Every structure is written in structure tokens, then in C-alpha cells.
Copies of this chain bind each other. A is one copy, B any other.
Amino acid sequence: MPIEKITSRKSSVVKNAAALLQKAENRSEAGLFMAEGARLCADAARSQTEIAACFFTENAAKKYKDYLDPVLKQTEHAYCIEEHIAPMLSDTKNPQGIFCVCRMPKRRADGLPVSAESDTRPCRHVLVMENIQDPSNMGNVLRTAEALGVRHLALVGTCCDVYAPKVLRGSMGAVFRLGIRRFETAEDCLKVLHAENITSLAAVPDSDATPITTIPFETGNWAVWIGNEGNGLTNEAIEHCHDRVTIPMRGRAESFNASTAAAIVLWEMERNGAGGTSYG
């Protein structure tokens, strides 16, 4: 792998990469996104994400050698950048000095990345997020889904971009491996899930809805829908789901944070397998 040196902030290679940080449109048009940090870049390589370019400072190359080596084996282009260029490629306050331009993974019909060593057992549990806007929430939900073994997510409406820098970091790389499908409308998503024989449940903060603890997640195929941070699910989603479920609350609380609600739902989907050997 020949390594090219970049010393100028005017480098078009750097500018094109930096544009990927700015807008979802830039990323989707190019089919590329930026991963930042030694761990995340190594994780991209390990997850068989295609790496179009790797940028690193000399200091970072020394400090994070073990992370960088597998990335350099896989990348199509490698660039050693001067320290003063690192902030242009960074979305963080203190960049580590390692960055990758990655190709968005090709995904199967069920959303799983084609090239990764994906767990391709049939999809039994799906978390659906409708209009989730906060990148921290989105990243955290993806991280939690992977940790708990829920491999399929559906994003409906105006959810934030999973390839946004903050989502990627918060997800701890789960974006590289999870099954992720996007739908423009609740109706589109419901149709597809229905055709896959998956029962959709709308999570709502209503005490008269079915308690989440009574859903037999161990049997059958289930999707639970979580709504926007401020407004919850749309009426369209609630009306067309098969049932409404709720996480029972006490005290004065009126709702959970969206990523907390998602975490409890994900946990309930899988908890009966947790601690035993029946993970499935």
C-alpha cells in the first residue's frame, strides 16, 4: 500500500472527505461515509466494511498501530496527513488522528449487510423507530440492539441518518453489522412487516395499553414501534399496528426518554433467553 503525504488543507481529497461529515445528502449521493477514531476504523475493517480511504497522522500511526494495521491492509488509498489537517476531518473536540472513508454496505432485502459475517437467521424481533431525530438516541439504540442480540431495525419517516458521525460513534460500530431498513411511511413499513408475518406493536405511554411484560416474545415474530422524542408515534402508526403496548409507569412521570423506552423494549424481547442458553 503506497502512502501518499498530504500537507495542505486545500487538498481536494481531504475536502471531499470532510464534506461527508456535513450532510446526509453528501453521504447518500456518494454512497460513502466517514468513520473516526482508532477503534471505530478497526471495527469497520473487522466488519468487512469496504474502506475507500484511510487518513492518519504520524502520531496516530505510532500510538494506534494495532488498530491501524488491519485498516491499512483493507483500504484502497492511504494518506498520511499533517496534524493541522486532522480537525478538518473530525467531528470531535480532540481527534485521535485516524479517519476512514467507508462505502455504505450493500444490504440484503432484510437490511443485513451483504458482505459482513452477518447472523442471517430469520428475523423474529424488529425494533421500528419512527421520526427519531436525536443522533445520540439513535446511536445508543443501535448499540443497545446489538448488545442484546436484536439484529433488525426499521427506520420510518424522518429518522436521522445512521451514517452521521455522532450516530456511528454512539452505535459503537453496530451500524456496520445490524440489519437496517428505511421506509418513507409507516404504511410502507407495516406492509413489509406484515408480509413477513411479523406482528407490529405500537409503544405508547398509555396505562390502558397492553403491558409489554405480557407479550410472548419467545414465540412468534414481533416488531415494536417507538416514536419521536417529543411527540411519540404518529396516529397513522398507532392505528395500523396490531396492538398498543406500554411500559408500565408509576409516579409523576409521563414518558420515558425514547432511547430508554427502546432499551427496555429490546431487553424484554430478549430477556427470557438472557442468562440461559436459549438465545435465539
Contacts and interface: CB of A to CB of B under 8 A. Distances in A.
Interface of A: 43, 119, 136, 140, 143-144, 146-149, 170, 172-174, 177, 211-214, 247-257, 259-260, 263-264, 267, 271, 274-275, 279
A172 B259 contact: no
22 contacts: A43-B252, A136-B136, A143-B256, A143-B260, A144-B260, A147-B250, A148-B250, A170-B257, A172-B254, A174-B253, A177-B252, A211-B275, A212-B275, A213-B271, A247-B267, A247-B274, A248-B275, A250-B279, A260-B260, A260-B263, A263-B263, A267-B267
A214 B267 contact: no
A143 B253 contact: yes
A279 B251 CA distance: 11
Contacts of A140: 257, 260
A59 to B, nearest CB: 21
A173 B255 CA distance: 13
A77 to B, nearest CB: 27
A43 B119 CA distance: 47
B263 A248 contact: no
Copies in the complex: 2
A250 B144 contact: no
A256 to B, nearest CB: 6
A34 to B, nearest CB: 21
Contacts of A172: 253-254
Nearest to A262: B260
A255 B146 CA distance: 10
A146 B214 contact: no
A261 to B, nearest CB: 9
Between A147, A212, A279, the greatest number of chain B beta carbons within 10 A of the residue's beta carbon is seen for: A147
Contact of A251 (B149, B251, B257, B259): B149
Between A43, A136, A257, the greatest number of chain B beta carbons within 10 A of the residue's beta carbon is seen for: A257
A253 B146 contact: yes
Nearest to A172: B253
A229 to B, nearest CB: 12
A213 B149 contact: no
A147 to B, nearest CB: 3
Closest 8 CB pairs of A and B: A211-B275, A147-B253, A149-B250, A248-B274, A213-B275, A147-B249, A260-B263, A146-B251
A147 B212 CA distance: 15
A177 B259 CA distance: 23
A228 B173 CA distance: 21
